[in-house]
Amino acid sequence: MLEVNKLCVSYLGVPVIREVSFKVEEGQVVSIVGSNGAGKSTILKTISGLLRPLRGEIHFLGERIDTWPPFQITAEGISHIPEGRKIFSKLTVLENLLVGAYTRQSKSEVQESLESLYRLFPILQERRNQKGETLSGGEQQMLAIARGLMSKPKLMMLDEPSLGLMPSLSIKVIEVLKRISSQGTTILLVEQKVRNALELADRAYVLQTGSIVLEGAGSDLLKSDMIRKAYLGM
C-alpha cells in the first residue's frame, strides 16, 4: 500500500531523515518507534505532504505522491492524526468531525460515518455540541482519531496518540486502534511507548538519529536484546 524508498529530509536546514526505506502492506499495523527527536514525526509529515523530501520517493497505491499537495494526499486516502491532537478548540465536537469529512461529497455517507463513529466513541455523541476545548485530554485524543476516520481513509497515520495521557487512557487508545484495524483500516503508528507499539504491530521499524537500525515483526523486536536494553529498561 505504502512504499517509502531512500527518503532524505531536512528540517530548518538540518538533515533529519537519512536514507529511510520501509513498506506498509494493506491491512497491517506498522509501528515506527524510537526516542524523542529521532525523526519519527518528520517521516509522517513528509508522507502527508507537509514537508518535502530532499531525495527519495514515496508511493501510495502505486502512485508517486511525494510532490503532491497535502489536500490531494488526503483525498487519495491517507489520514494524518498529528502529535498533540490539534483539534479545533473553538468548534464543537460535531463541527470538528465534519471538518474531517471535507473531501467527501455524499451527505448520507457522511451521516453513516458519524453514526458509526458515535458507536465507536459514545462519549463523542454525548459531547457533540460541546466545544473541543471543554473536553478532557483523553476525549480530545478520541476526537482527533475520530476526525481522522471521517475522511474514510485507506491508511491512517497516528503521531504519538498516547502522548500526555495517563496509562489507563493510553491502554484505551491502543484498544481503539485494534478495533479500527480489525475493521479494515491500515495503520502507520509513531509512538514513544515502545512496548505498546510493538505489541500492536504486525511489523515495526526502530529509528535512531534519522536512520532505521532495526526492523522485523513486532513480536520479534520485543525479544530483541537491543530493544529490551534501550527502550524497555530490561
* Each residue's pLDDT tens digit, 79-137: 999 987 899 999 999 999 999 998 888 899 999 999 999 999 999 999 999 999 999 98
Among the listed residues 56, 54, 51, 41, the one whose alpha carbon sits nearest the alpha carbon of residue 6: 56
**2-11 and 155-159 strand pairing:** unpaired
Euclidean distance between CA atoms 127 and 125, whole angstroms = 5
The domain limits of the chain are 2-230
Euclidean distance between CA atoms 110 and 115, whole angstroms = 9
Which pTM value belongs to this model? 0.91
Q: Average pLDDT, stretch 64-78?
A: 95
- Is the pLDDT at 221 greater than 90? The verdict is yes
- Is the pLDDT at 169 greater than 90? The verdict is no
Reported confidence tier of residue 234, pLDDT bands at 50, 70, 90: low
In CATH terms, 2-230 corresponds, of 1.10.10.10, 3.40.50.300, 3.40.50.450, 1.10.760.10, to: 3.40.50.300
pLDDT at residue 105 in the model:
83
Among the listed residues 38, 50, 55, the one whose alpha carbon sits nearest the alpha carbon of residue 74: 50
Grid cell listed for 92: 464543537
Euclidean distance between CA atoms 50 and 202, whole angstroms = 27
For residue 215, the tally of other CB atoms under 10 A from its CB is: 17
